[in-house]
Amino acid sequence: GRPLVATWTLTIRANARVERRRFDTLERALAELEARVDELAGRAKENPAGTRLRQYGPEQQVVARIELAGPERRLAGTRAGIDVHGDGSTEAYLGRVRRQTVDASKGEPAVKALRRVLQDR
């Protein structure tokens, strides 16, 4: 049979579309996550999300979510990701159901904060 390969799944939810990609290493998955976050955040900054619901500003709307799921046997099936807000800002998190925001150092991009936390595990 085929050897078991640890795969990382990257799920990109944006513009009412869902795309999934698989990677054999955490580093490759994080590189793609960073590229997609940069692309989606850039688009949001150029064209901020508007809404008819006045109580929510662009900085409160999630226009894209990029989720990373690790192999079940490694890191207890790690779940993590980045939310891209309507104003182009980003926020990293760990978990899926009980999401925990990843604290970024002053000036540290969300992707770098997520990378640091995942690689320290």
pTM above 0.95, yes or no: no
The pLDDT tens digits for 87-115 are: 999 999 998 778 899 998 888 999 999 99
- CA pair distance 22, 108, nearest whole angstrom: 27
**Residues 67-101: b if buried by 16+ CB within 10 A, e if exposed:** bbbbbeeeeeebbbbbbbbbbbebbbbbeeeeeee
The pLDDT tens digits for 41-75 are: 999 888 876 655 556 677 778 899 999 998 765 54
- CA–chain centroid gap for 99, Å, is 12
